[in-house]
Amino acid sequence: MSVEVRACTGDAIVALIPQLAALRVEIFVDFPYLYDGDLDYEARYLDLYARHEGSVVIVAEEAGEIVGASTGIPFVHEPESMHEPFVKHGWDPNELFYGGESILRATHRGRGVYSRFHAMREAHARSLGATWLTFCAVQRPDDHPERPPGYAPLDDVWRHFGYAPREELNATMRWKDRGDAEESDHPMRFWVKRLAG
Ligand X SMILES: CC(C)(COP(=O)(O)OP(=O)(O)OC[C@H]1O[C@@H](n2cnc3c(N)ncnc32)[C@H](O)[C@@H]1OP(=O)(O)O)[C@@H](O)C(=O)NCCC(=O)NCCS
Binding site for ligand X (CB under 6 A): 27, 101-104, 109-110, 112-115, 154, 156-157, 160
Least distance CB 194 / ligand X (angstroms): 19
Least distance CB 111 / ligand X (angstroms): 6
DSSP per-residue letters across 114-166: HHHHHHHHHHHHHHTT-SEEEEEEE---TT-TTPPTT---SHHHHHHTT-EEE
Least distance CB 59 / ligand X (angstroms): 13
Please provide residue 99's backbone torsions phi and psi, each rounded to the nearest 5 degrees: -90, 110
Which C-beta is closer to ligand X: that of 56 or that of 104? 104
Which C-beta is closer to ligand X: that of 35 or that of 86? 35
**56: Cβ contacts below 8 Å, ≥ 6 apart:** 7, 8, 9, 49, 71, 72, 73, 120, 121, 124
Least distance CB 97 / ligand X (angstroms): 15
Q: Cis bond leading into 153, ω under 30°?
A: no
Which C-beta is closer to ligand X: that of 28 or that of 91? 28
Least distance CB 173 / ligand X (angstroms): 12
Please provide residue 184's backbone torsions phi and psi, each rounded to the nearest 5 degrees: -140, 165
Which C-beta is closer to ligand X: that of 143 or that of 156? 156
Which C-beta is closer to ligand X: that of 142 or that of 182? 142
Asked if 101 and 118 touch (Cβ cutoff 8 Å), the reply is: no
- Quick one: 36 exposed, middle or buried, by C-beta within 10 A (0-12, 13-18, 19+)? middle
State the pairing for strand pair 164-175/4-8: unpaired
